[in-house]
Chain A
Amino acid sequence: MEDNGVPVEGSAPHGDLKEPWGAGRGAIIWVSAALFVLFTLITLLNSAYHHTRRHRAEARYAEGVKLAGTGRNQDAAEDFRAALVYEHDDLKYRFALAKALVSMGRWDEAGTHLLELQQVDPTNGPINQMLARLAVRAGRYGEAIDDYNRAIYGYWPEDAEAKRIAARLELIGVLDKEGRQKQVLAELLALAGEVPDNDLAMRRKVGEMLLSHHSPQHAAETYRGILATHPRDGASERGLGEAEFELGDFRAARNAFRAAARRGPPDPALSQRIALTDDILDLDPTLVPLSVSQRYQRAVQLLRRALASASACTVVPEELSDAAQKILSTRPRRMWEDDTATALTLTLQLWNLRQSACVQRPAADLALAAVMTRIAKQ
């Protein structure tokens, strides 16, 4: 039975082959021979074709690299595209095109190429890093963080250690921008563990970042680590000084600053830091060992400065001002301890008043502020 002129189920293809493997044996031999010859010819043709394709693609790629090197990214991109037309699946060409497009500011087009590359090679460090940068640019921070992590733990064709560190630094920047301070600290600590001993600049940078991210303890450890391998490194001495300063160990900070000053050329900023630590150490009544009278003297000194600082920017309540003036104008009695405590209590009140009333902290108050912070902690 036929339907629409086409033989239907049950009627075809049956019964009409006239002994194709019997009387047609000659035909089979001829067809097989033809297939073999055709296969051989096309194998040769295909081999020449692929050779030509590769050759042309490489030539255009090399031209593109040359142009990209001279900053002619638009022309370079055309060459990379041409290379891709010849060899569609070459990751090298596609990545080069993506890089050129990024340089030209064609983010979306670069993104599609990079996403395709990522599909093919998901653990490729450079691809993930570039995708992360595009995501950052588009404000997709979550995606960027994932891509940076893939870049850090992925493989890098060359100079892997330095590239991973660079990727982690970029990730830290993104996390910082996102306000994820705990993750920043975790990444910084991981970074501190990754940086090789001989990369002094990077180790210093890690120390600085730890300091700027309020982790003086880890910063101090990092600087001490540097100084263990590079004992004459003035910058690390100074960094250690800053870390100790933040930790409130002003004596250690002064020692480190002085060591730094000895190892480098005269530096006014460093001299200021030394002067500040000297001032703090002269002012701090909580330092040990101090005699009772020394402690009293420092408490009075502290009170005087707090009163001056508060009066400079706000109106000090009369009773507070009178109480302070009374201590400052009275000769000390025998009961040093009580007088010291009274002076410190008044100082604290004045300082709190100053803190709430005055926005800016004058440079002259730095030592006072450091000491008051330390006292408040105790």
Chain B
Amino acid sequence: MNPFQHGKRFTLSEGQRFLLLAILIGMFSGLMVVAFHIMIDLISWNSLGALSGTLRYGRLISPALGALVATYLATRVFPAARGSGVNQTKAALYISDGFVDPSTVPGKFLACSIAIGSGNSLGPEDPSLQMGAGVASMLGRIFHLGRKNMRLIAPVGAAAGIAAAFNTPITGVLFVMEEVVASWNAGVVGSIVLAAVSSVVVVRWFLGDEPLFRIPALQFQHPSELLVYAAIGVVGGLLSAGFIRLIEVLHNRLKGLPHRTQLIQALCGGLLCGFVGLWLPEVMGAGYDAIDFALHGRFPWDLLLILAGAKLLVTLICFSTGVPGGMFAPTLFVGAMLGGGLAGLAHHYSSLVTSPLGAYVLVGMGTFFSGVFRAPMTSIFMVFETSASYVIILPVMIANTISYFISRRLHPVPFFTMLARQEGIDLPSAEEYRSTEVLRVEDAMQPLPEGMTLEQAPPIYPDVTLDAALRLLADHALLCVVSRANPQVPIGVVSILDVRRAYGFPESGPILPETPEASSQGQGGRSGQ
């Protein structure tokens, strides 16, 4: 039937409408990110010069002033805009039914563009993600979405925001699936992809389709180089765990100071950033230009290591003192400089390094990101997407995975979870969720008692989740586990006691809600939340 037929009302299914809304969210987010990008550039050009180097004394003063104004805006004018964009989006998804305060969007836009543009060592991606989530939440409310769809709308906007910020649609989708939603949920993948693609299209329409970095021709020269890449992964993992710990400690200490010192803290953070910037202007702002030059071999290896250390320090200070901005760009910077520096060092003492330094800069870029944010897939695809080089994928996978496992081992609490806990919010950790084992009937079942027949208890398959079994056990004392291949053959039994034992609950008494610690110990049961 022709939907446009005269007299007939044109209708779309709910799913189709949601997808169309995702496109709208992508377009709005893309426009916001374009404006954000332009604003940061304009502020940066006028306060620091193109290379963060032409106005020497501007470099000292500008970050401090920027930090002061931005923190004032974020704390006094737009208090809802404080905090991590990822955690706000997760809070919208899990706690506030998709509600993101509308003031978040202008708040993040103004505060972060001033902070980053004036040279503070922070990145624009997390604010972009949050603005995307904010725009999505607003649109969701305008279109009176129901509770379920409202909860989903924030991650859709977040994907659009981060994809536009990186100009990489796959990375945007992966990050949100990996870090925010934490599961490959078919219901939202389509919307997230559409939003990410439409936002990137808008960004490319205005800013051109140039990638984030201009990658020189790279090639993987010899398998022995993988040792160096693995070493970069090891150092990246160690350093990222240490970095999270330092942020945890410093952030906590500074949060404990009186509220009135917030602006002074930010001012000091900006001043320190400017002071370091007097000698190393590359560490100021997001640092993408410096990464680009490092990829092209501008810096010697010793300077690369110094830059990595300096960026680590100023980012730690800027972030911990509460200057608004994201952490993605600084982590990429630190990783890139670390990769190049370590490769240069290795080249100095051995013959293992045969590729140009740019290859190690590129691989290193993802290692620190992977270790800090515990998003290994995102980090791999981000490097792949920004380099458009398939050759580099193997070293990237090795280095990033090593970094991820080492960081996870040394500091089990992921970065965003740590921040959320410091804010007093208990958000489900994507990483913890991924490592959670879903318990099934076969994990609890007992051998079939002698003489027991199928007719004596309702049948259940061994691969059914214990949650489902638990619901059936509310009405029956015992379930008969039957073979999936032949349901006429009983293979075991399961009772409420077996289920309690499998979950690690006491054999009697009430079952208490799970604590985050219990969750991280690998026990199932989150599905009941």
Contacts and interface: CB of A to CB of B under 8 A. Distances in A.
A271 interface: no
Contact of B356 (A17, A19, A108): A108
Contacts of A108: 297, 356-357
B526 interface: yes
Interface in A37-84: 38-39, 42-43, 45-46, 49, 52-53, 56, 60, 78, 81-83
Contacts of B529: 4-5
Given A17-B14, A20-B17, A30 B142 contact: yes
B14 A14 contact: yes
A109 B358 CA distance: 10
B14 A113 contact: no
A61 to B, nearest CB: 12
Most-contacted residue by chain A among B24, B34, B207, B210 (CB, 10 A): B34
A318 interface: no
Contacts of A7: 148, 151-152, 185, 187
A contact patch SS: helix
A35 interface: yes
A4 B356 CA distance: 45
Contacts of B96: none
Contacts of B38: 45-46, 49
A89 interface: yes
B148 to A, nearest CB: 5
Contacts of B208: 89
Nearest to A77: B298
Interface stretch (B41-49, B246-254, B391-399): B41-49
B41 A42 contact: no
Contacts of A81: 51, 293, 298
Interface in A69-107: 78, 81-83, 85-86, 88-89
A2 B182 CA distance: 13
A31 interface: yes
B24 A14 contact: no
A115 B217 contact: yes
A18 interface: yes
Contacts of A82: 49-51, 54
B406 to A, nearest CB: 26
Interface residues of B, number: 68
A12 B188 contact: yes
A3 B24 CA distance: 28
B143 interface: yes
A9 to B, nearest CB: 4
A92 B216 CA distance: 16
B18 interface: yes
B210 A13 contact: no
Contacts of B17: 17, 20-21
Contacts of B24: 31, 35
Nearest to A113: B296
A9 B210 contact: no
A275 B54 CA distance: 70
Q: Interface residue tally of chain A, by bracket?
A: 35 or more
Contacts of A43: 206
A212 to B, nearest CB: 37
B320 to A, nearest CB: 29
Contact of B28 (A11, A35, A88): A35
Contact of A13 (B15, B34, B206): B15
B216 A116 contact: yes
Nearest to A27: B142
A16 B153 CA distance: 12
Nearest to A60: B50
Most-contacted residue by chain A among B14, B94, B210, B526 (CB, 10 A): B14
B159 to A, nearest CB: 14
B35 A21 contact: no
B428 interface: yes
Nearest to A85: B50
B295 to A, nearest CB: 7
A323 interface: no
B191 interface: yes
A225 interface: no
Interface in A96-131: 108-109, 111-113, 115-116, 118-119
A113 B181 CA distance: 40
Contact of B143 (A8, A24, A78, A109): A24
B183 A46 contact: no
Nearest to B142: A27
A131 to B, nearest CB: 11
Interface string B1-30: 000000000111011011001001001100
B51 A85 contact: yes
Interface in B432-454: 433
Contacts of B295: 112
A5 B35 contact: no
B31 interface: yes
B186 interface: yes
A363 interface: no
Nearest to B468: A1
A288 interface: no
B266 to A, nearest CB: 27
Contacts of A38: 28, 31
Nearest to B181: A6
B145 interface: yes
Contacts of A4: 182-183, 428, 433, 526-527, 529
Most-contacted residue by chain A among B144, B215, B295 (CB, 10 A): B144
Contacts of B149: 12-13, 16-17
A64 to B, nearest CB: 12
A16 B13 CA distance: 11
Closest 7 interchain pairs by CB?
A: A16-B146, A12-B187, A112-B216, A13-B18, A9-B186, A82-B50, A112-B296
Given A4-B182, A13-B191, 20 more contacts: A5-B94, A5-B529, A6-B182, A6-B183, A6-B185, A8-B187, A9-B186, A13-B149, A14-B18, A15-B148, A19-B144, A42-B206, A49-B42, A88-B214, A109-B298, A112-B295, A112-B358, A113-B216, A115-B217, A119-B217
6 contacts: A3-B527, A15-B14, A17-B14, A46-B206, A82-B54, A115-B217
Interface of A: 2-21, 24, 27, 30-31, 35, 38-39, 42-43, 45-46, 49, 52-53, 56, 60, 78, 81-83, 85-86, 88-89, 108-109, 111-113, 115-116, 118-119
